[in-house]
Chains A and B, each alone.
Chain A
């Protein structure tokens, strides 16, 4: 399968713990996005990478959240000191550099904070 992959698919953690998610984009895509989706809502933008550079961050991305894409390939999203309000589906998407191409989404990581 050459689509966007995410790991893990599910994560259950206790409040206050740190969690890290990984996204592997489609190999030739240099642009990578993270979104968060809660129940009854559409995905909401968190952050964007072009190659290894993080070029945009949403106000939703509090200082407990950090994202990296060290070599311009896979990306990680870390949440420190998790809160129950962080429970959501975290989606990763990638696209090539051309502006007319759509974003390709991964299956998501479902986070449950107890």
Chain B
């Protein structure tokens, strides 16, 4: 079965530190990739997505992610985090196979705490 792994359960950083959150998926076919963020008390919202083309995608709030097909990875990065980035981050995959209707497979999430 397809799965998504997020390597870090909880990451604690100081403001201005660089961020990289790991995401790996297990599926050899065509995939669409997403990072969603959930700020405290708010609902899931999209940070960025990859469907095709340039494997380096840029999202909102200075986030970016790189799709490396050979490594089945889609890591999220931000060069300098802010206190307002404190949130839970979810990597998700939409696999393409017969019968699939586009439902997302999520990782367990990484909680990011940024110290001011």
Name A's B-contacting residues (CB within 8 A): 4, 31, 33, 35, 40-45, 48, 50, 55-56, 58, 91, 93, 95, 99-100, 102-108
Whether A42 and B109, one on each chain, are in contact in the complex, defined by CB atoms closer than 8 angstroms, is yes
Whether B108 and A91, one on each chain, are in contact in the complex, defined by CB atoms closer than 8 angstroms, is no
Q: Which of B43-51, B62-70, B74-82 contacts A (4 or more CB under 8 A)?
A: B43-51
- Given A105-B44, A105-B45, A43 and B101 contact (CB-CB distance below 8 Å): no
> From A106, which residue of chain B is reached at the shortest CB distance?
B43
Whether B46 and A99, one on each chain, are in contact in the complex, defined by CB atoms closer than 8 angstroms, is no
- Given A106-B43, A107-B43, A42 and B103 contact (CB-CB distance below 8 Å): no
Chain B residues within an 8 Å CB radius of A100: 32, 51
> From A40, which residue of chain B is reached at the shortest CB distance?
B108
A48: which of B103, B107, B109 is its contact (CB, 8 Å)? B103
A48 CB → nearest B CB, Å: 5
Return the CB mask of B20-40 against A: 1 if under 8 Å, else 0: 000000000000101010000
Chain A residues within an 8 Å CB radius of B99: 56
The 9 closest A-B pairs by CB, nearest first: A42-B106, A45-B103, A105-B44, A107-B43, A56-B101, A48-B101, A102-B46, A43-B106, A42-B90
Whether B43 and A45, one on each chain, are in contact in the complex, defined by CB atoms closer than 8 angstroms, is no
Q: How far is the CA of A41 from the CA of B90 in the complex (A)?
A: 10
> From B48, which residue of chain A is reached at the shortest CB distance?
A102
Whether B104 and A43, one on each chain, are in contact in the complex, defined by CB atoms closer than 8 angstroms, is yes
Given contacts A56-B99, A102-B34, 5 further A-B contacts (CB under 8 A): A33-B104, A48-B101, A50-B101, A58-B103, A107-B43
Q: How far is the CA of A91 from the CA of B102 in the complex (A)?
A: 16
Whether B51 and A45, one on each chain, are in contact in the complex, defined by CB atoms closer than 8 angstroms, is no
Chain A residues within an 8 Å CB radius of B42: 107
